[in-house]
């Protein structure tokens, strides 16, 4: 496992999504969202329902009936959106967001929060 990533694949996906979006290496808001999306296999497979790299924006996906998200995946999406631009709804509370996550996804959530609020960690991730 790469330091700060849950797996080598997570690191590869994260860097690929940064390139696909042409994300600035200092954009901690977007990086925290991408870290969440790329840290979970299901979210990564469904990433085009969650975020549009061409338009550089989140998609309204939680009510989209074309894609199915488990409660844990919905929590990660909500957290990612909140870290990205402050988005929230009635479910965007710490208990709701973190209570449905397994240990791996809880680690992804914790690290995404650290990326958002500790720009030094983003620099480390980009340089790894």
Q: What is the pLDDT of residues 74-92, one digit of tens each?
A: 999 999 999 999 999 999 8
Span 115-126, pLDDT tens digits: 999 867 777 777
Q: What is the Cα–Cα distance from 117 to 82, expressed in whole angstroms? A: 13
- 115 C-beta neighbours (distance < 10 Å), count: 26
Q: Would you say residue 108 lies in a domain?
A: yes
Q: Which domain holds residue 67?
A: 8-127
Q: What is the Cα–Cα distance from 113 to 109, expressed in whole angstroms? A: 6
Q: How many separate domains does the chain show? A: 1
Q: Would you say residue 90 lies in a domain?
A: yes
Q: Which residue has the tokens 């924006």?
A: 57
3-state SS assignment for residue 14: helix
pLDDT band of 46, cuts 50, 70, 90: very high
């Amino acid at each position: 496992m790469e330091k700060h990533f849950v797996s080598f694949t997570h690191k590869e996906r994260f860097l690929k999504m940064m390139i696909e979006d042409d994300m600035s290496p200092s954009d901690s808001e977007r990086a925290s969202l991408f870290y969440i999306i790329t840290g979970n296999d299901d979210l990564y497979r469904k990433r085009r329902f969650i975020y549009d790299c061409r338009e550089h924006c989140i998609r309204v996906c939680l009510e989209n009936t074309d894609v199915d998200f488990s409660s844990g995946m919905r929590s990660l999406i909500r957290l990612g959106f909140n870290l990205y631009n402050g988005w929230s709804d009635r479910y965007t509370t710490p208990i709701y967001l973190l209570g449905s996550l397994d240990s791996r996804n809880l680690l992804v959530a914790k690290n995404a929060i650290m990326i958002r609020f500790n720009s030094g960690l983003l620099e480390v991730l980009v340089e790894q």
